[in-house]
Structure 1
Amino acid sequence: MQSNTNFDGKSHAFARNIYGTTKGRIRLAVLQQDLDALLATLPDRPLRILDAGGGFGPLSQPLAALGHQVVLCDLSAEMLALAKQQVSEQGLLGQFEFIQAPIQSLRVAALGQFDLILCHAVLEWVAEQAALLASLEALLKEEGHLSLMFYNRDGLLYHSLVMGHFDYVYADLVKKRRQKLTPNWPCRPKEVAGWLADLGLVINSRSGVRVLHDYMVDKQFRLEHAEEVIAMELAHARLEPFMHLGRYIHLVAHKPRLFNCAAKQRHTTRAHTD
């Protein structure tokens, strides 16, 4: 059974409340920094990219502008309409295919496989998270990469402790009243890493998103000095211990070639028998 969250009726509020704020600018800046680092290691050719649960495509639109081909999938008709409008205004419609469907319904037989899959701020809205990751792995080419960002339960717990929200902590981080834009299923990073390992995916990099912003007591300062705050976020996103405190965690993982995995297994077996 699939249990996904549809943002129809909330799309403009989502775009405004998330991406129209310093928090959203930090998110985009950290993701862009990580994706730029990844793209610098890949062959200089057009990539097939799946933006899974991508909303209006704030990350895939810049990638399309670089010449890559994007399949943008989302449950929300409103989000996709907003994406089409923005993509059309940029003259990028030829770079996009739009699909309104659950990610879990996508099939390799229909779409083929992708060089890069983006799945940002989706996992925490899905009940069956391991199954979603398995669906993404099937759509990923060998030597392809997965850019996965998820709401960090550890960061949520730490923020709640720092802010003195002890009733929330005692309630196991479950609010009495569900907030419309608060994720339903925050993710434990170790659990997510375990699921990826079970699928044979290898994590290349980890970053924290909003490792400082949400812990700054002076809200006026962070508003008036947004550029400095963003610069500090970028400087600390991959550093220990700060990355673990991010409200979101961004992982970049790759899918090794099968023969490399087999060779590694043979090497491990020989090492145990020698």
Structure 2
Amino acid sequence: MHVDRTRADLAADGVRERVPDSEAPPSPTGVATNLRTAALWESVSRVAEDLQADIDRPLRVLDLGGGTGGVAVALATLGHQVTVVDPSPDALAALGRRAEEAGVADRIIGIQGDSSNLDTVHPQAQADLVCCHGVLEFVDDPARAVRALAGALAPDGVLSLVVAQRLSVVLARALAGQFGQAQHALTTPEGRWGPADPLPRRFDRAAVCELVEEAGLEVIDTHGVRIFSDFVPSAFVDSEAERQALLDLERAASSHPDFAVLAELGASLHVLAGRH
């Protein structure tokens, strides 16, 4: 069974847990409307900013599985040209509407496809930034998907790969008193806590880095996303000042050397890679 499914498909099935929150765009102030989304956007926007400074022009971006354009529209708003490849026609239609509303329709292209035919629907070796956020959990063959992403990457480009982490769900299940589920997630190859788990698989850092390196890329950086956010009660972040303080803490912890081990507990792992 092919499972290159969009977040729109999952939402229709009632799947919510651990599906990355990349569908909410940043607010005009630069702080995303969703706290979880904001933590990811902080990481992606920094990558785009650094890349643009290096090549001195707007980026050519490929967003595989970009859905309705949470990341794509935000990047297009910054002036970049973004191609979203997604298997869902409904998601692509929503992408078009969102791009029109944001005034960036001329900088976004939506193409129906997935990792299995990426080499035929998108030019090879031309994307400065390739985003693949919350997709590897669902594809039939993650290694093949990463090879396809590597093929689309320009010689000096960067792959931004975000995956759900195994250790995060182990801790979350344990804190919820579901000790059997925590052990199941820790010890099974897929990192799932049981049959009702909405994700087909989760990853640890070593597994993701191995996929990237086998695809001929070199890992540039790895850091946790949402190290604290998923464990902080919502009552503690009910004001904009508290939300911003938590985001600042996330940013500082994700790059702090003494917190490297805690990055493994982030809900997601953000891996940056480029060519050797």
Please list the CA deviations of residues 165-198 of structure 1 after superposition, one character each: whole Å capped at 9, or x if unmatched: 20212433333424xxx32211122111011112
Offset of 1:105 from its aligned partner? 0.7
Number of equivalences? 250
Structure 1 residues without counterparts, runs of 5 or longer: 257-274
Q: 1:21 to 1:43 in 2, by over 3 A?
A: closer
- Please report the RMSD computed on the Cα atoms of aligned residues, expressed in angstroms: 2.6
Deviates more, 1:54-63 or 1:203-212: 54-63
Structure 2 residues without counterparts, runs of 5 or longer: 25-32, 186-191
Q: Take 2:109 and 2:170, find their aligned partners in 1: how far apart are those partners? A: 38
Alignment of 1:50-199 (within 5 A): 50-107=62-119, 111-113=123-125, 114-172=127-185, 173-178=192-197, 182-199=198-215
State TM-score, norm by structure 1: 0.81
Q: What does residue 8 of structure 1 align with? A: 9
Q: Take 2:180 and 2:112, find their aligned partners in 1: how far apart are those partners? A: 39
Amino acid in the other structure paired with 1:105: N
Offset of 1:245 from its aligned partner? 1.4
Q: Take 2:196 and 2:117, find their aligned partners in 1: how far apart are those partners? A: 31
Question: 2:230 is matched with which residue: 193, 201, 214?
Answer: 214
Question: 1:200 is matched with which residue: 207, 216, 224?
Answer: 216
Offset of 1:136 from its aligned partner? 0.8
Amino acid in the other structure paired with 2:101: E
Amino acid in the other structure paired with 1:174: W
Q: What does residue 243 of structure 1 align with? A: 263
CA contact under 8 A between 1:202 and 1:255: conserved in structure 2?
A: yes
Offset of 1:237 from its aligned partner? 1.5
Q: 1:184 to 1:144 in 2, by over 3 A?
A: same
Offset of 1:39 from its aligned partner? 3.5
Deviates more, 1:126-135 or 1:158-167: 158-167
Please list the CA deviations of residues 189-225 of structure 1 after superposition, one character each: whole Å capped at 9, or x if unmatched: 2111011112221111222111012233x43113342
Q: 1:109 to 1:186 in 2, by over 3 A?
A: closer
Q: 1:140 to 1:92 in 2, by over 3 A?
A: same
Offset of 1:85 from its aligned partner? 0.6
Q: Take 1:144 and 1:31, find their aligned partners in 2: how far apart are those partners? A: 14
Q: Quote the sequence identity (%).
A: 25
CA contact under 8 A between 2:4 and 2:115: conserved in structure 1?
A: no
Offset of 1:72 from its aligned partner? 0.7
CA contact under 8 A between 1:196 and 1:202: conserved in structure 2?
A: yes
Q: Take 2:122 and 2:163, find their aligned partners in 1: how far apart are those partners? A: 27
Q: Take 1:9 and 1:244, find their aligned partners in 2: how far apart are those partners? A: 25
Higher CA-based Rg: 1
State the secondary structure of the residue aligned to 2:58: coil
Q: Take 1:150 and 1:109, find their aligned partners in 2: how far apart are those partners? A: 23
Q: Take 1:244 and 1:188, find their aligned partners in 2: how far apart are those partners? A: 8
Offset of 1:109 from its aligned partner? 8.0
Offset of 1:140 from its aligned partner? 1.3
Q: 1:208 to 1:39 in 2, by over 3 A?
A: farther
1:223 aligns with 2:238: yes
